[in-house]
A and B are shown apart, each in its own frame.
Chain A
Amino acid sequence: MALSTVSRVRRQLPISPWLFAAPGLLITGAFILYPFGSTLANAFTDRRTLIPGHFVGFANFRELWHDDMFWTGLRNSTLYILGVVPALVVLPLLLALLVQKNIPGITFFRSAFYTPVVASIVVVGLIWVWLLDERGLVNSLLETIGVGRIGFLSDQWLLLLSAMAVTVWKGLGYYMIIYLAALANVPRELHEAASVDGAGAVRRFFTVTVPAVRSTMVLVGALSSVAAFKVFSEVYLMAGPSGGPAGEDTTLVMLVQRTGTGLTGRVGYASALSVVVFVVTVALMLLVLRADRKEDA
Chain B
Amino acid sequence: MSVIERTRPVQKAAVREPRVTDEHGRRIRVWELALRYTLLLAVLAITVGPFLWQLSTSLKGPTEDIYSSPPTFLPEHPTLHNYKRVADTIPVWDYAFNSLKVASANVVTNCAGSALAGYALARLRYRGRRVATLVFILAMLVPVEGIIIAQFTTMRELGLNNTLIGVVLPGCIGAMNVLLMRNAFLNLPYEIEEAAYVDGANVWQRFLRIALPSVKGTIAVVAIFAFMGAWDDFLWPLIVLSDPSKFTLTIGLNYLHGTFANDERLVAAGTVIAVAPLIALFACLQRYFFRGVGEGAVKG
Contact = CB atoms under 8 A, between A and B. Distances in A.
Interface of A: 1, 3-4, 6-7, 10-12, 14, 16-18, 20-21, 23-25, 27-36, 38-39, 42, 49, 95, 98-99, 101-104, 106-107, 109-116, 118-123, 126-131, 133, 135, 137, 139-141, 143-144, 169, 172-174, 177-178, 180-181, 183-184, 188, 219, 223, 226, 230, 232-233, 237, 241, 253, 256-257, 260-261, 265, 267, 270-271, 274-275, 277-278, 281, 285
Given A49-B156, A230-B143, A23 B173 contact: yes
B94 interface: no
12 contacts: A20-B207, A31-B151, A42-B153, A103-B37, A120-B234, A127-B271, A140-B71, A143-B69, A169-B46, A184-B3, A260-B149, A265-B149
Contacts of B228: 118
Chain B binding surface, main DSSP class: helix
Nearest to B23: A102
A109 B42 CA distance: 11
B150 A141 contact: no
Given A27-B173, A256-B149, 16 more contacts: A3-B204, A7-B205, A16-B204, A21-B120, A31-B151, A36-B146, A103-B20, A118-B281, A121-B234, A141-B70, A144-B69, A169-B46, A181-B294, A184-B3, A253-B145, A278-B142
Nearest to A30: B154
B132 A25 contact: yes
Interface of B: 1-4, 6-8, 10, 20, 22-24, 28, 33, 36-37, 39-40, 43-44, 46-48, 50-51, 53-54, 57, 67-71, 109, 112-114, 116-117, 119-121, 124-126, 129, 132, 135-136, 138-139, 141-143, 145-154, 156, 169-173, 175, 178, 202-205, 207-208, 228, 231-235, 238-239, 249-250, 253-254, 257-258, 264, 267-268, 270-271, 274-275, 278-279, 281-283, 286, 289-290, 293-294, 297-298
Chain A binding surface, main DSSP class: helix
B183 to A, nearest CB: 15
Contacts of A169: 46-47
A173 B47 contact: yes
B40 A99 contact: yes
A233 B251 CA distance: 11
Q: Which of B125, B233, B234 counts the most A-chain CB atoms under 10 A from its CB?
A: B234
A126 B271 contact: yes
Contacts of A174: 293
Contact of A31 (B46, B170, B253): B170
A282 B61 CA distance: 51
Contacts of A177: 3, 290, 293-294
A40 B254 CA distance: 31
Nearest to B264: A130
A135 B67 contact: yes
A277 B143 contact: yes
A17 B184 CA distance: 18
Nearest to A192: B24
Contacts of B207: 20
Given A49-B156, A112-B44, A118 B139 contact: no
Closest 9 A/B residue pairs (Cβ)? A24-B117, A35-B150, A7-B204, A120-B232, A20-B120, A260-B149, A17-B124, A17-B126, A31-B170
Contacts of B150: 34-36, 38-39, 42, 267, 271, 274
